[in-house]
Amino acid sequence: MAVLRPARPVPTPSMQTGAAGPGRATGFRRVRSHWPQYLAISPFYLLFSVFGLFPALFSLYLAFHRWDGLGEMQFVGLKNFQYLLGDGTFWLALRNTFIIWFLSTVPMLFVALAIAAMLNSTVRFTAFYRIAYFIPNITSLVAMAIFFGAVFSTNFGLVNVVLQAVHLPAVHWLTNPLGMKIVVATVTTWQWTGYNTIIYLAGLQAIPSEVYEAAKVDGAGPIQTFVRITIPLLRPIILFTVVVSTITGMQTFTEPQVLFGNNGTLTANTGGAGHGALTMVLYFYHQAFDNHDFGYGAAIAWAVFLVVMVFAAINWRLVQRRET
């Protein structure tokens, strides 16, 4: 905190005198006297309001209309939301999203923590390992999806070749509903483990070495140290990664879209055989941009927003309770 203090704006005379006058005049005068600063930060807010705020608000307006993107908008009231509640495909997509989120987040965070702990104790080639683990995160997802599609293909995929070599039956990874979710979760795990590893590693390095030395003096072994010292001290960081992976996991889109979106047979962006990998965001994309049903697509998008909000609230409550 001490480092941050000088960066705060120094109180100016106008601010101090303004505190006594009427509020509106204060605000205006404050803006005027700091116009270079406001001008400097305005590009972000201008771009945000044009490309972020306006579309978000417009999608709320759209959710109460029927619109094919070209013709006239037709007000339909709550009909889109009413239909959504009875739409089995949406509930299926919600379920799929949760399953994929669970299948990817749990192994991803465990593996990331283990790798971070190992990286933290390596002496040689540390930079090399860090880069190596981070590379999947910046690799083109489309290229990865094609690669994984080939690895998991039924007759000639590497995974099934290995399974058959140990006399296990081959799995139809790309058409079986659970198999499809596992493939999507694998791609997500592959891509984001390195990212979480780096975050954990930063957290680990912030733990003072005195704590470890004290534990060593008290006779704690490596496992005990990890469970009793490392994990509790890393808790805020673990909670951060859980919240971030929840929010991104609820919005899984690209992986199923490129893996199952365009095989030339099925309607584009419906999540493959039997909607096995249809996620909520993919479903909204499909309704809006394949079926040209922008009103219903917007309604789904707002339902996704609600789900993420509820989840974020649950997470927040959990954090609050632990801290009191």
Site residues for another protein per CB under 8 A: 68-71, 79, 83, 86-89, 140, 142-143, 146, 149-150, 153-157, 172, 174-177, 262-267, 270, 272-275, 289-293, 296
Q: How far is the CB of 65 from another protein (least distance, A)?
A: 13
Q: How far is the CB of 256 from another protein (least distance, A)?
A: 15
Q: How far is the CB of 85 from another protein (least distance, A)?
A: 12
- For residue 44, count other CB atoms closer than 10 A to its CB: 10
Q: How far is the CB of 295 from another protein (least distance, A)?
A: 10
Residue 256 and residue 263: Cα distance in Å, rounded? Answer: 12
Q: How far is the CB of 274 from another protein (least distance, A)?
A: 4
Residue with Cβ nearer another protein (130 or 275): 275
Question: Residue 187 is encoded by which pair of tokens?
Answer: 């791609």
User: What separation in angstroms does the CA of 88 have from each of 34, 84, 91, 94, 128?
Assistant: 54, 8, 5, 10, 48
* Amino acid identity at 297: G
Question: Is residue 195 within 8 Å of 267, Cβ to Cβ?
Answer: no
User: What separation in angstroms does the CA of 131 have from each of 25, 115, 137, 189?
Assistant: 53, 13, 10, 17
Cβ burial 20-31 (10 Å sphere, 16+ → b, else e): eeeeeebeeeee
Q: How far is the CB of 171 from another protein (least distance, A)?
A: 12
Residue with Cβ nearer another protein (16 or 155): 155
Question: Residue 321 is encoded by which pair of tokens?
Answer: 């309770």
Residue with Cβ nearer another protein (268 or 312): 268
Q: How far is the CB of 89 from another protein (least distance, A)?
A: 8
Residue with Cβ nearer another protein (220 or 266): 266
List of residues 6+ apart from 264 with CB closer than 8 A: none
Question: Is residue 163 within 8 Å of 171, Cβ to Cβ?
Answer: yes
